[in-house]
Amino acid sequence: MKTSLLPIAGIAVLIPFATGVSHAATLPAPPSSTAEIVAVEAWAFPQEQSSDPSAPVQAQQSAPNATMRVPGSTRSYTLSELGSNFVAPDWFPRDHPPAPHVVLFGRKPAWACGACHYPNGEGDADSATLAGLPKAYIIEQIKAFRDGQRIPPDPSMAEEARNLDDADLQQAADYFSNLKLPPIRRVVGTATVPRTHWDNFVHAPDHDGAREPIGERIIEISNDQKLYDRGDERTGFVAYVPPGSIEAGAKIAAAGTGAAPVCESCHGASLQGADLAGIGIAPPLAGRSPTYIVKELILFRLGKRNNPGAAPMRAEVSRLTLKEMINVAAYAGSRRP
Ligand code: HEC
Ligand code: HEC
């Protein structure tokens, strides 16, 4: 999230990450084709902006020193502060314990974690929830980003991991692992969804209000795009999922697919996460963004997560169809965090 709040008129930034999908062919019996993976990237891999063909001519832009507020907060930030990765807007400081310096302001050249993950660690479809992830898992993933064992679609997190010093990493990991993810997301089964474009790394409804079939997709929208753009972490999201997917996903989580082992056997009975001593740390999945979950399942499949702890997941995803991934992600996202 968060590189520019200043609207960029009609730029489509569509970089198909799947141009290197040759990795998929080296995994055992991949059930999804390359075409399927390209199709899933189109909705599950957030892009900064894409154009809304129905948008009116660009409204006048605010000046960078314009003061911005959100309802219920006494604080204010300038537009340029909101666009900076060295400031995490902390609209509601009483919603979380005091955050370490690196979380709110970064330490140059490392950016503020909260600028993308929010000060309360709730994250979003793009940046991942950090609230409540085990400390050892956070440290393991930062090391994997640094070593190139985990290759994110957008290189900024890998850059951040390399710029972060170990003392700040310890403090940030301590802080985020002690937070609890608030219930900020509704997951709703539906046959049709608003037609959307990308706005600041989230799906935003097109101006004309058009609707289209959901198909085999998850479309996650902020409850208020304007407040989301300002980094208001109380805004929340709604994730639209295919009808029946939550129920189908519940069966996969609890009973497997026949081919794929049961998610709950590693991620815990209510998908709250578990330490699989010696094998890896299975992070919590309950209440997290279902779009993020599908994105990560695809990244395991493409061989972009290769740290030793990812081995069980690489085996798991080689046995899941895309539809099963969507179903189980819908279910996990619908659980109370
Ligand atoms: C510029 C935005 C940005 C900033 C700043 C940022 N992150 Fe991230 N982070 C991301 C994105 C995007 C991802 C998801 C990568 C992917 O797609 O797999 C991510 C993923 C992660 C993950 C993996 C989570 C998981 O569930 O596996 C961890 C841990 C993490 N970030 C920690 C941090 C910490 C600690 C900081 C501050 C020192 C930080 N991040 C700063 C964008 C950011
Ligand atoms: C054999 C144990 C095992 C099983 C079964 C398993 N997982 Fe995992 N899962 C893990 C481990 C370990 C990790 C951490 C990977 C790492 O260290 O990179 C993980 C990570 C993940 C992640 C990445 C989360 C993040 O924060 O980035 C997702 C998503 C996930 N699992 C979903 C699932 C789903 C859905 C199922 C069932 C279809 C499942 N897992 C079954 C062990 C398992």
> In the structure encoding, which two tokens stand for residue 169, read together?
């990493």
Q: Determine the Cα–Cα distance for residues 206 and 54; give it in Å rounded to an integer.
A: 7
pLDDT tens figures, 135-176: 999 999 999 999 999 999 999 999 999 999 999 999 999 999
Average pLDDT over residues 220-239: 97
CA of 19 to the centre of ligand 1 (A): 23
Tell me if 84 is assigned to some domain.
yes
> In the structure encoding, which two tokens stand for residue 44, read together?
């599950």
Which residue in the block uniquely carries the two structure tokens 């997190």?
157
CA of 243 to the centre of ligand 1 (A): 31
Tell me if 118 is assigned to some domain.
yes
pLDDT at 227: 97
How far is residue 70 from each of residues 73, 81, 87, measured CA to CA in Å?
A: 6, 14, 16
Q: Ligand 1: which of 17, 40, 157, 292 to mutate, most ligand atoms within 8 Å of CB?
A: 157
* Domain of 122, in residue numbers: 67-177
Tell me if 259 is assigned to some domain.
no
Tell me if 209 is assigned to some domain.
no
219, 203 in Cβ contact below 8 A? yes
297 lines ligand 1 (CB under 6 A): no
In terms of C-beta density within 10 A (0-12 exposed, 13-18 middle, 19 or more buried), how is residue 148 classed? exposed
Nearest to 152 by CA among 48, 45, 291: 45
Domain count, the chain: 1
Count the neighbouring beta carbons within 10 Å of the beta carbon of residue 276: 13
**Exposure class string for 66-99: b at 16+ Cβ within 10 A, else e:** eebebeebeeebbbebbbbbebbbbbbeeebeeb
Indicate which ligand has the atom closest to the C-alpha of 130: 1
Work out which ligand 2 atom sits closest to the CA atom of 292. 29
Q: Determine the Cα–Cα distance for residues 242 and 248; give it in Å rounded to an integer.
A: 10
Tell me if 324 is assigned to some domain.
no
Tell me if 147 is assigned to some domain.
yes
How far is residue 41 from each of residues 15, 77, 153, 296, 321, measured CA to CA in Å?
A: 10, 34, 10, 11, 15
> In the structure encoding, which two tokens stand for residue 278, read together?
């010696």
Residue type, position 167, single letter: A
Nearest to 64 by CA among 48, 76, 81: 81
Work out which ligand 1 atom sits closest to the CA atom of 168. 38
Residue nearest to atom 29 of ligand 1 (CA): 138
pLDDT tens figures, 15-64: 333 333 333 333 344 445 788 888 999 999 999 999 998 988 766 678 88
Q: Determine the Cα–Cα distance for residues 337 and 333; give it in Å rounded to an integer.
A: 8
Q: Ligand 2: which of 122, 124, 266, 270 to mutate, most ligand atoms within 8 Å of CB?
A: 266
> In the structure encoding, which two tokens stand for residue 250, read together?
């519940």
pLDDT at 228: 97
283 lines ligand 2 (CB under 6 A): yes
Please say whether the dihedral angle defined by the alpha carbons of residues 230, 2, 326 and 286, taken in this order, is positive or negative.
negative
Using a cut of 0.85, tell me whether the model's pTM lies above it: yes
Nearest to 295 by CA among 37, 32, 31, 22: 37
Rg (CA), the chain: 19
267 lines ligand 2 (CB under 6 A): yes
Higher pLDDT, 60 or 299: 299
Residue nearest to atom 2 of ligand 2 (CA): 266
> In the structure encoding, which two tokens stand for residue 204, read together?
């935003």
CATH number for the domain spanning 166: value is: 1.10.760.10
Tell me if 283 is assigned to some domain.
no
Q: Determine the Cα–Cα distance for residues 44 and 219; give it in Å rounded to an integer.
A: 8
Q: Determine the Cα–Cα distance for residues 154 and 130; give it in Å rounded to an integer.
A: 18
Band (pLDDT 50/70/90 cuts) for residue 12 is very low
> In the structure encoding, which two tokens stand for residue 302, read together?
């493409």
Tell me if 158 is assigned to some domain.
yes
Q: Determine the Cα–Cα distance for residues 185 and 177; give it in Å rounded to an integer.
A: 20
Count the neighbouring beta carbons within 10 Å of the beta carbon of residue 318: 17
Average pLDDT over residues 223-248: 97
CA of 209 to the centre of ligand 1 (A): 33
> In the structure encoding, which two tokens stand for residue 301, read together?
């499949």
257 lines ligand 2 (CB under 6 A): no
pLDDT at 19: 32
Residue nearest to atom 14 of ligand 1 (CA): 127
261 has pLDDT over 60: yes
